[in-house]
Amino acid sequence: MSSRIVCSHCGQDWIEKYRVKESGEVFWACPDCESLWLESQKKEEETDLYISEFLESRGITWPSVEKVD
Ligand SMILES: [Zn+2]
């Protein structure tokens, strides 16, 4: 059985784990709708965050982030 979590916002994709290379901050995001969860948030519940807002708030762009397997 997979432990992957279906996006609770759109239900269209699995959420994936990512890390900000510089700070090491970890977050989860849905590739389909770009919803984003911080590590401290419950991934099974809706989120107000979006990837673009998160990146902007950290002053970084997508290449500053790497996927965590
Ligand atoms: Zn989604």
pLDDT at 69: 85
Containing domain of residue 29, as a range?
16-68
C-alpha 38 – ligand 1 centre gap (Å): 14
Q: How many CB atoms lie within 10 A of CB 47?
A: 19
- Distance CA(38)–CA(58), nearest Å, equals 13
Query: Considering the domain boundaries, does residue 35 fall inside one?
Result: yes
C-alpha 46 – ligand 1 centre gap (Å): 10
C-alpha 14 – ligand 1 centre gap (Å): 8
Question: How many domains would you assign to the chain?
Answer: 1
**Residue with the two structure tokens 């099974």:** 44
User: Does position 1 have pLDDT exceeding 60, yes or no?
Assistant: no
- Distance CA(60)–CA(41), nearest Å, equals 21
pLDDT at 2: 62
Q: What is the pTM of this model?
A: 0.91
pLDDT tens string 25-54:
999 999 999 999 999 999 999 999 999 999
C-alpha 36 – ligand 1 centre gap (Å): 9
C-alpha 17 – ligand 1 centre gap (Å): 13
Please return the burial class of 46, using the count of CB atoms within 10 Å of its CB with bins 0-12, 13-18 and 19+: exposed
Query: Considering the domain boundaries, does residue 2 fall inside one?
Result: no
pLDDT tens string 15-26:
999 999 999 999
pLDDT at 3: 78
